[in-house]
């Protein structure tokens, strides 16, 4: 794979909160405050500098190589005939924005996972403590004395006043039962900060609250699941400083007190890891979000080697179900390694991994293979190799059911290729066909709006976004659409602030949380 210029971007956060996430590729995303997150690299975003875009429109030229004529970087995820920012592997379904984790309510998936025997699911080599040395213990503790604030409420109070704040009716930590059921309810409602605050209260009951870091404490499946949920949500919301502090005591989950054998009286005869596998994957991936993808790649590679050894162990015992279970875990690690490789520009590694995933994935169905080829093609698009992308998309199309009509995946693939070829009217028409298959899909709407902008139809792009928000504010008020619409307002008028404040009113009433700062989403600090 040839590198034609790509800048790094944070990858999607893997879908956690269960031993084995149900979807083949995840959609629980997290991004740094100054960056826009996409779902599978499908969504285009607008330049940070409105004047740069206006210059592009006035000259009827499309910026190449990710820059405007003025030299400002364009942040589109698929840029016309050029390279762009990093992409993440796509999921099996296309949805815009940031989804509530489906697995929280997907009892069938959880029940399917629980069919795997405990000694298979929790299989992990217990660390050995040298004779004469006390065991090193895992001693976490909450690192903040107060609850995380409601940042949307703070912004509304600052910019719109307390009267408008009175319209904010979302469940808080005190409005749910103080247990796992309440935690699931908050997460399902998208109230992630309140969910984090509830994990703090529940962990305090376990003696691991504020001020308890460094103090010995007994661990259980429930306490470690609470920590896992808390850290995953901190990563999702971009609270990286707090994430780093609270995750540090867990290291690689390689201390004896996170294994069942450490508590023979509590768990007689039980062996293996108390912490779920996804917790290990989160900790291995975490350096990506802290700006050290090479360290993440090293840790993920180590995790892959261990997982592969466990898979081969069960294969040697002719335990096919256990072997397949750990093979699925291998694939999840490879997904994360590809994300690291994109940031590190190791494109040959990406090719090798995806090729091996397809070659070794004999038990993958056609849709899963299609997802891999489509993801591969989009990665080629990110580095400006349109021909290579077309080849991979063609492979994906060949796996479609015979005589079936193009589905959303096909149409989005085609639309992204057309964008890369600078044919924005045709790309718009293709995305429009995809929208007819899934009305209200905000990823598709975002791409349609960007196509209109690059075709010089600014007002039509604004109307498209505003109509989408009016039809379904809860779904359409996602971060990428908000950033794009705020940028269009700045292009349209020097008095865009009132329109942005109207967006803030809608956010106040319909959105419990956002994954990036409101100041970034709505650009409220700009003069106009």
Q: Tens of pLDDT along 287-330?
A: 998 999 999 999 999 999 999 999 999 999 999 999 999 999 99
Rounded CA-CA distance 89/339 in Å is 7
Rounded CA-CA distance 474/23 in Å is 23
The pLDDT profile of the chain, 528 residues, written as one tens digit per residue, is 644 443 334 434 333 333 332 222 222 222 332 222 333 456 665 554 444 333 333 322 222 222 222 333 233 444 444 333 333 332 322 222 223 233 334 455 566 677 888 999 999 998 887 777 788 899 999 999 999 999 999 999 999 999 999 999 999 999 999 999 999 999 999 999 999 999 999 999 999 999 999 998 899 999 999 999 999 999 999 899 999 999 999 999 999 999 999 999 999 999 999 999 999 999 999 999 899 999 999 999 999 999 999 999 999 999 999 999 999 999 999 999 998 999 999 999 999 999 999 988 777 888 889 999 999 999 999 888 999 999 999 999 999 887 788 899 999 999 999 999 999 999 999 999 999 999 889 899 999 999 999 999 999 999 999 999 998 898 899 888 999 999 999 999 888 999 999 999 999 999 999 888 888 888 887 555
Packing angle, helices 277-289 and 240-247, rounded to 10: 130
Strand pairing partners for 273? 259
pLDDT at 1: 61
Question: What is the per-residue DSSP string for 513-525?
Answer: --SS-HHHHS-TT
pLDDT at 114: 74
pLDDT at 100: 29
Domain ranges of the chain: 100-126+136-282, 292-346+354-364, 365-434, 457-527
Global confidence as pTM: 0.81
Comparing CA positions, the residue from 218, 133, 115, 168 lying closest to residue 508 is 168
Rounded CA-CA distance 239/286 in Å is 12
pLDDT at 486: 93
User: Which H, E and C letters describe 471-511, residue by residue?
Assistant: HCHHHHCCHHHHHHHHHHHHHHCCCCHHHHHHHHHHHHHHC
């Amino acid at each position: 794979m040839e590198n034609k210029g790509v800048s790094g971007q944070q990858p999607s956060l893997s879908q956690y909160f269960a031993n084995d996430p149900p979807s083949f590729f995840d959609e629980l995303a997290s991004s740094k405050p100054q960056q826009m997150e996409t779902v599978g690299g499908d969504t285009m975003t607008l330049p940070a500098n409105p004047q740069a875009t206006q210059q592009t429109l006035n000259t009827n030229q499309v910026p190449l190589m990710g820059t405007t004529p003025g030299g400002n970087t364009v942040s589109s995820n698929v840029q016309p005939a050029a390279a762009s920012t990093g992409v993440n592997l796509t999921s099996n379904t296309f949805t815009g924005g940031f989804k509530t984790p489906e697995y929280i309510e997907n009892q069938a998936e959880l029940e399917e996972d629980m069919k795997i025997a405990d000694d298979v699911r929790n299989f992990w080599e217990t660390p050995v403590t040298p004779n004469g040395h006390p065991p090193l213990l895992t001693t976490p503790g909450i690192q903040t004395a107060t609850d995380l604030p409601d940042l949307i409420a703070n912004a509304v109070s600052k910019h719109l006043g307390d009267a408008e704040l009175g319209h904010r009716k979302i469940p808080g930590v005190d409005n749910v039962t103080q247990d796992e059921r309440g935690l699931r309810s908050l997460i399902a409602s998208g109230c992630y900060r309140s969910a984090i605050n509830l994990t703090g209260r529940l962990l305090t009951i376990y003696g691991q609250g504020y001020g308890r870091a460094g103090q010995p404490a007994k661990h259980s499946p429930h306490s470690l699941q609470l920590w896992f949920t808390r850290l995953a949500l901190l990563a999702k919301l971009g609270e990286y400083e707090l994430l780093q502090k609270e995750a540090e005591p867990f290291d690689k989950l390689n201390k004896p007190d996170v294994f069942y054998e450490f508590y023979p009286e509590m768990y007689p005869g039980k062996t293996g890891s108390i912490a779920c596998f996804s917790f290990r994957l989160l900790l291995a991936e975490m350096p990506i979000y802290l700006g050290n993808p090479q360290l993440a790649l090293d840790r993920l590679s180590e995790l892959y080697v261990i997982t592969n050894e466990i898979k081969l162990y069960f294969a040697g015992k002719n335990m096919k179900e256990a072997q397949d279970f750990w093979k699925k875990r291998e694939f999840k690690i490879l997904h994360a390694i590809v994300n690291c490789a994109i940031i590190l520009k190791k494109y040959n590694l990406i090719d090798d991994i995806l090729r091996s995933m397809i070659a070794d994935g004999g038990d993958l169905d056609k849709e899963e293979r299609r997802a891999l080829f489509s993801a591969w093609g989009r990665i080629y698009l990110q580095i400006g190799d349109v021909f290579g992308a077309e080849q991979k998309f063609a492979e994906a199309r060949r796996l479609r059911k015979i005589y079936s009509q193009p589905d959303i995946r096909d149409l989005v693939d085609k639309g992204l290729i057309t964008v890369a070829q600078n044919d924005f009217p045709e790309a718009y028409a293709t995305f429009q066909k995809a929208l007819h298959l899934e009305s209200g899909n905000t990823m598709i709407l975002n791409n349609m709006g960007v196509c209109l902008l690059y075709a010089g139809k600014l007002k039509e792009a604004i109307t498209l976004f505003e109509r989408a928000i009016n039809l379904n504010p809860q779904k359409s008020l996602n971060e990428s659409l908000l950033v794009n619409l705020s940028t269009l307002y700045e292009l349209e008028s020097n008095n865009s602030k009132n329109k942005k404040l109207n967006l803030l009113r809608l956010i106040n009433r319909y959105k419990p949380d956002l994954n990036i700062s409101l100041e970034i989403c709505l650009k409220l600090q700009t003069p106009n």
